[in-house]
Amino acid sequence: MFSSLLIANRGEIACRIVRTARRLGIRTIAVATEADRTWLHWQLADEAVFIGEGPAADSYLNIEKIIDAARQTGAEAVHPGYGFLAENAEFAGACAAAGLVFVGPPAEAIAAMGSKARAKELMIAAGVPVVPGYHGAKQAQNVLKSKAQDVGFPLLIKATAGGGGRGLRHVERDEDFLAALTSAQREAKNSFGDERVLLEKFVTNPRHIEIQVFADDHGNAVHLYERECSVQRRHQKVIEEAPAPGMLDAMRKKMGEAAIKAVLAVGYRGAGTVEFIADGSRDLSPDRFYFMEMNTRLQVEHPVTEAITGLDLVEWQLRIAADETLPLNQDAIPRNGWGVEGRIYAEDARGGFAPTSGAFVLARFWEAPGVRVDAGIADNSVVGPHYDAMLAKVIAHGTDRSQALDRLARGLKKTRIAGPQTNLRFLQAIIAHPDFQAGGVDTGFIDRHIETLTATSGDVWLAAPAIAARLARQAETGADQASGAWRQTAGFEIGGLTRQTALDVLIDGVPATAQMRSPRRPSIPAMPPIPTSSGRATRPLCLPTAARRASISPIRAIAP
């Protein structure tokens, strides 16, 4: 096993990798930007390297900066996490050229599965079922229109180099095809530098079911069962669970075998996910699922697999990267109970899921037996515009689906987040919905129920802890002298012991008035220094002035 690991990522996944690496006795090095100084991964790692001001293109996506950071700190290996450079064949090759162990698959496997069209060709050759469609090289619009008519409507247009729903269009009618194609090609070009697309027959009531796979360099490959990822908005997963509701043993076996064929077809190594579309118009059936794509990395939703297997998938990644064999063979992989995960995003669910930004004056998560939290933020963390809006994940495990959902509901209810708007209420509404409770999920679930799912809002009293934290911090720093929050006519002080005020606030975007009392200015403990590669200790920015001013009035508070 190598002794030092650079984590080329940020947020909750960087924190999650640090914890496993530390347990294995591996020194961890974080990379971070000025925009990330209030996030946790700086503080948890043994060492941190500054790689830029903020924009991803100049920092987390800059291969040269990441490789230089590894050289400066003497890192032996690099873990890419997910997103950013995790599925970049050039980055995997650059690590190998620099003598660094890349915790992931070979560059050749990343390249093979990075093109949806090429991946489907490989799967057809390997005997893996694929959705009927057109995956050819001829990309003239008249050719694609003719092929679309052959495939039949409704169909999907997909960017061949795509992901995250970019360059994806659902077309219902022949007459709408060219406009949708032009739009998809434009978005694909802007997002991936490649305007090529493929066409797929649209599966009615599709369910997104994926298989977790692992392979080593010694000819071994296994799967760790399936995950249900059908609850999505704009093709981004929101709630994931394992196993899939209604999954039959015969179908699980056939999907697992198909996933292993996919792994062996590309000479894979490490963790990966083979994603399938299943026909959800009827009960799940072994003859109605199709290969969609393969993600050549760890997935955001990997904790639900960890929940039902009791295994640490990051540890498996590290051991395989260190040239060890797979820890278990297929027959020895356990499967117990049910796991479910909710992703907490800084976004406005009622405002079209637009990202939100600003400072979180309060970020408290609740963990208990059966409830786990992977978070990247804490009190005073500032969310900016540069990166993905995901803040944390709440993961629950139970003996059955009902218990797992109850535990997830409790974990979300006890989460306290105040600052920019989040989707916390939205997640609660999803798991409480009768159709979801009954296992009636497909990729259209959120769209069908969007009005119901976004109708809830918080209670006025829930803002009080957040406002108290904000005003206490203003008082401590002297900011209240400028803002006059405690100088309002409604505020007064008795004997210098207690202060009261009434403030106008927004609770999930709904105007309200919060009555508050607060003891005199509490002391705010200093945040710990951050170790850096230069050997000098720096302190994180507790709350940048601009962010503080932007969030004082009105305060957004979201907590169940």
CB neighbours of 385 closer than 8 A, spacing ≥ 6?
Answer: 355, 357
Which one-letter DSSP state was computed for residue 487? G
**What's CA 395's distance to the chain center, in Å?**
13
- Identify whether 369 is preceded by a cis peptide bond (ω within 30 of 0): no
**Residue 501 in 3-state DSSP?**
strand
| DSSP state string for 371-417 | EEEEES--TT-EE-SSS--EEEEEEEEESSHHHHHHHHHHHHHT-EE
Torsion of CA 156, 160, 162, 164, to 10 degrees: 30
Nearest Cα to 527, choosing from 397, 379, 365? 379
* Helices then strands, each counted (H, E), the chain: 19, 29
* Angle between helical axes of 424-432 and 401-413 (0-180°, round to 10): 150
CA nearest to 351, candidates 404, 420, 298, 289: 420
Helices 107-114 and 116-126: angle between axes, nearest 10 degrees? 100
Sign of the C-alpha dihedral computed for residues 66, 71, 73 and 76 taken in this order? positive
Give which of 513, 524, 547 is closest to 475, Cα–Cα: 524
Specify the amino acid at residue 493: E
Whether 232 contacts 216, CB under 8 Å: no
253 secondary structure, DSSP code: H
In total, the chain counts a number of residues equal to: 560
Token readout for 343 is 């992703």
**Residue 368 in tokens:** 């208990």
Contact 529, 539 (CB under 8 A): yes
Residues 419 and 381: their CA atoms lie apart, in Å, by: 10
CB 33 within 8 A of CB 54: yes
Q: How many CB atoms lie within 10 A of CB 179?
A: 11
Q: For residue 272, what are the β-bridge partners? A: 213
336 burial type by CB count under 10 A (0-12 exposed, 13-18 middle, 19+ buried):
exposed
Residues marked active site are found at 297
Helix (H, G, I), strand (E, B) or coil at 434: helix
Contact 102, 75 (CB under 8 A): no
Q: How far apart are CA 488 and CA 143, in angstroms?
A: 69
* Residue 72 neighbours by CB distance under 10 Å: 14
Pairing of strands 155-159, 77-79: unpaired
- Phi then psi for residue 183, to 5 deg, are -65, -45
